[in-house]
Amino acid sequence: MNITVIGCGRWGTFLAWYLCSIGNNVKIYGRSESRTFRSLRETGKNEYLTLSPEIAFTDDLGQALEFGDKTVISIGTQNYPQLVQSIKSSGVSLKNKEIILCMKGIIKSGGKRISEATAEVLGNGQRVAVWVGPGHVEDFIRGIPNCMLICSEDQQYAKELCAQFGSQLIRFYYSHDMIGCEIGAASKNVMGIAAGMLDGMGYSSLKGALMARGPREIARLTKAMGGDERSIFGLCHIGDYEATLFSEHSHNRKFGEAFIKGEEYDKLAEGVETVRSILYLGKKYGVELPICNAVNSVIHEKKDASKVFTELFLREQKSEF
């Protein structure tokens, strides 16, 4: 298959590497002004991996879209509205094309899920799926396998992608619950920041309680939005907790720890903006989100972390279920 990968960050570059490794023709699109893209095109590698010389590069979005039967997108979530408008303006027909969204975030303007933003701008003339779940580039390139999830409202399409993209390195499961998968994948980054904050305060033992209670509040939100709350206990959310709450490679966990310690952290932590969107959705659907609210209070309201988490811990008694 001919596959275009839009995005040349850590995950986008891995996706190009992986899709090429399982026998596809891959072309990476990046903006000409991007230093990351220029470096990748010139050297064929980044700090994580070396790409096959068979992978092509282009800074022409129209050419990239024309090339790919499938377009795999992995960029910063908050940059997606601009990209999808550029895709629409490219003049390339997307009829019968496939778009696979590999991002874990909620757009801060209006609390939109990525697939919602896609449909609003591009309409419904293409097949759309999301590819989420656990796994770090650093582990995959060492040959350490993991399980991931492909979700589409068209479940047969999700099954097809699982068969096309699966390998001994990644075993795929499928789902049709777009709301649950997208909300679960985005909100696990908020939980990752909370875990990092606990690490930074020396309260790592509370991460077990975080693992137990975090999915409960996100499941309530998912159900209120019309999704399947069971999705939150699958690969899109709790299945990604090891990679997000504990791993040394987790950007969100490392951000949370650095924030508590007053240290700079220059990598993208999607949960920083996502927490605002999740709280917006919680208010819209009337769902209490105490852990997300605590993270937001520390990051965006500059409240004292020790006090915020102590108050969270000392909330009124409630039944576990």
- The DSSP call for residue 317 is P
Angle (deg, nearest 10), helices 178-201 and 290-299: 60
Q: Which amino acid is at 54?
A: E
Q: Is 95 a catalytic residue?
A: no
Cα–Cα distances (Å) from 224 to 8, 128, 147, 233, 294, in that order, read 35, 23, 28, 16, 21
Token pair in block for residue 9: 């960050």
- Beta-carbon contacts of residue 71 (< 8 Å; ≥ 6 apart): 3, 4, 6, 64, 65, 97, 98, 99, 100
Catalytic residue chosen out of the listed positions 27, 70, 104, 188? 188
What is the helix (H) or strand (E) element at residue 174, kind and residue range? strand 170-175
Token pair in block for residue 277: 């969107």
d(CA 117, CA 76): 14
Name the residues annotated as catalytic.
188
